[in-house]
Structures are given as structure tokens and as C-alpha cells.
Amino acid sequence: MFFGYLPYGAADTFLKKLQMAGCHKIVKESNPEGQSDLLEMAGSLKEGDVLILCRSGHAGSEAGFLDLLILIGQAQAHFVSLEENLDTLRDTALHLTEVSR
């Protein structure tokens, strides 16, 4: 399942990008002081799920972003950042293809 995340007060253009990316569920942050809804959603991911953000900065600080990636990896889920063209599912598949050659 594809999950999208919008930070508190995000512009409608970000919502449209997540919809175009095929998100089945989009969570809008309700806490103006942090990313509690993001962490709750990431903690509920299951194997094969994909968490999509418009930009990695929506995860908060660099440390927060790394913590998020670790949480996603522990769930054996995947991460996509649309603006930075980060896609752990695609990038893992490319790496495995190159290694098997």
C-alpha cells in the first residue's frame, strides 16, 4: 500500500503530487510542532508498504530523516521522496541487478 505524508500547513500542490504518485492513504500532520503523525504512520508500515513524501525535508531534521529511514527499513517497507528522486524500492532493485551480473 502507498502512504503519503503532508506536513502541517503544506501547500495543496504537495497534496496533488502525492495523489498523482498513487497514494492510497494520505496523512496530514495535525501537530504544528512536529511530525507525530508521520512517526505513527511509519510505525504502522508493513512489509512491502511504501511511504511517500514530496521532499525529504518534510521528515524534519537530518537526524529525524535518518531515524525515519531506519524505522521504514525495520518494517521491510520502502521510502520515496518525489522531489529528490529517492526510491528505496527502485534503488534496491537496481543494486541487486548490478550485483547479480
Q: For 7-39, write each residue's pLDDT tens digit.
A: 998 888 999 999 999 999 999 999 888 888 999
What pTM was computed for the model? 0.87
Q: How far is CA 76 from CA 21, 32, 89, in A?
A: 20, 29, 10
Going 33 to 71 to 21 to 3, the CA torsion angle's sign is negative
- Determine the Cα angle at 2 with ends 70 and 18, to 5°: 100
Strand order in the sheet with 78-81: 25-28, 2-6, 50-53, 78-81, 86-87
pLDDT at residue 34 in the model? 81
Model pLDDT for residues 56-86, shown as the tens digit of each residue: 999 989 999 999 999 999 999 999 999 999 9
Distance (Å, whole) CA 35 – CA 33: 7
- Could you tell me the pLDDT band of residue 90, with boundaries at 50, 70 and 90? confident
